[in-house]
């Protein structure tokens, strides 16, 4: 079998459940490796998508998800520190060492920290992540 033509097409996320398909076709010269040409077509399609600003939404969404995860980790650490402080304060009161040791309330110190998580769990699936 002699391969004389190869093509590559990629689906790039536009956001809001919209995609754009970019496809390229190349005619092979004598002795050209089809796999190398397809890889070159893929790189060119990705570069074209990047020039059009496609794919940036995906990067932004992943960054938002990463930061939301970081905030949730910090919230958990703050609640843990609050609980540890309150246990120490209870010990100090019970032993009479510091009868007026206050409990720590993160709501008072930082109203934006919530006792219960309100994060929405979900999964972002992006066609640009698929292997082509």
pTM: 0.43
Tens digits of per-residue pLDDT, 23-73?
999 999 988 999 999 999 988 988 888 777 665 556 666 778 888 889 889
Angle at 85 between CA 80 and CA 89, to 5 degrees: 150
CB 41 within 8 A of CB 8: yes
Q: How far apart are CA 131 and CA 127, in angstroms?
A: 9
CB 44 within 8 A of CB 30: no
Strands (E) across the chain are located at 5-15, 18-27
Tens digits of per-residue pLDDT, 83-115?
999 999 999 999 999 999 999 887 777 776 555
């Amino acid at each position: 079998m002699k391969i004389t033509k190869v093509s590559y097409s990629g689906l790039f996320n536009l956001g809001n459940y919209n995609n754009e398909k970019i496809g390229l076709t190349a005619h092979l010269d004598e002795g050209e490796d089809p796999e190398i040409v397809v890889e070159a077509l893929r790189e060119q399609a990705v570069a074209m998508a990047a020039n059009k600003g496609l794919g940036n939404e995906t990067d932004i969404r992943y960054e938002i998800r990463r930061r939301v995860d970081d905030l949730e980790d910090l919230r958990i650490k703050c609640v843990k520190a609050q609980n540890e402080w309150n246990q120490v304060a209870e010990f100090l009161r019970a032993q009479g060492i510091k009868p007026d040791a206050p409990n720590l309330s993160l709501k008072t110190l930082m109203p934006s920290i919530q006792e219960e998580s309100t994060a929405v769990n979900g999964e972002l699936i992006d066609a640009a992540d698929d292997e082509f």
